[in-house]
Homo-oligomer: A and B are copies of this chain.
Amino acid sequence: MKTDPRCIPCFFQQAINLSKIMKLDENILKKILKETGLIINDITFEETPAEIGRRVYSMISQITGVEDPYKSLKRESIETALGLYPDLKEKVENSNDKLLSGIKYAVAGNIIDFGVGKEFDIHDEIDKAATKQFAIFDYPEFKESLINADSILYIADNAGESVFDRLLIEQLHKPVLYVVREKPIINDLTYEDAVASGIPDHIKIISSGVTAPGTILKLCSDEFIEIYNNAEMIISKGQGNYEGLSGEPGNIFFLLKAKCECVSEKLNVPLGSLILKKSE
């Protein structure tokens, strides 16, 4: 998915949000916004939003000298989610359709996102999760692929959301490779965060090699590309991965909340919709 003109104000807004979180001096923020202006002048709009996001965050890291500004917020998200986990685990185990219940909580967790710049309330999202309808719901295809696949490639999105991914992974009953980002970017999941989220030992955590907030195949490691090409079933969480992987080959199931106008327009659903969509 290429960058839309409407993404541009969003990059600046993200820089402003980040500066608040980092409690940056206003003069540093002004410098960051001016540098973001230069980056925008340099783009072609052929890039995915995640590629531009990577350039902006990398510039901010260089200016501030901070590599992982969301570190403590990521830890808080994970702690909050771990606190909710036992109760939700029980709800999943007691539900009529455990797999569906796992899917619903996994997508509810996708609300945890500091990149989109909107306030979120994970408790509210969890309350709604059991009853909210999906706008696109390729569940029959999902179940069929799951039966036929020997293993699943599960591409994670954000820290905290990862704890909710566990609820789904536990209902897959297949070997899972859980994919994280190579380096900290926004609140996207890294290896360290995945471990802190309590991903079970028998689940192998691997890196895509990408340092952008999304899975962009041309930026992935050769090792990951080989695994990706051989995957029988891929679960792709969140917008950043959808932006990178929509249009790419593979038996992909996109599981996400459509949080911005451009993504919801591309999916032809109302803003805020829940999506379980098989790739075309």
Contact = CB atoms under 8 A, between A and B. Distances in A.
Interface of A: 5-6, 8-10, 12-13, 16, 19, 26, 29-30, 33-43, 45
Copies of this protein in the complex: 2
20 contacts: A5-B26, A5-B30, A8-B12, A8-B16, A8-B33, A8-B37, A9-B9, A9-B13, A9-B16, A12-B12, A33-B40, A34-B41, A34-B42, A34-B43, A35-B41, A36-B40, A37-B41, A38-B38, A38-B41, A41-B41
A110 to B, nearest CB: 24
B34 A5 contact: no
A32 B246 CA distance: 27
Contacts of A41: 34-35, 37-38, 41
Nearest to A24: B5
Most buried by B among A9, A19, A35, A39: A9
Q: Report which residue of A10, A26, A34, A43 has the largest number of chain B beta carbons within 10 angstroms of its beta carbon.
A: A34
A9 B10 contact: yes
A96 B38 CA distance: 57
Contacts of A43: 34
A9 B15 CA distance: 10
Contact of A30 (B36, B42, B45): B45
A13 B12 CA distance: 11
Given A37-B39, A41-B37, A45-B30, A16 B5 contact: yes
B40 A34 contact: yes
Contacts of A13: 9
Nearest to A41: B37
Contacts of A9: 9-10, 12-13, 16
A30 B3 CA distance: 10
A256 B33 CA distance: 29
A13 B9 CA distance: 6
Contacts of A6: 16
A75 to B, nearest CB: 27
Given A5-B19, A8-B16, A33-B40, 8 more contacts: A5-B16, A5-B29, A8-B33, A8-B37, A34-B40, A34-B41, A35-B41, A38-B41
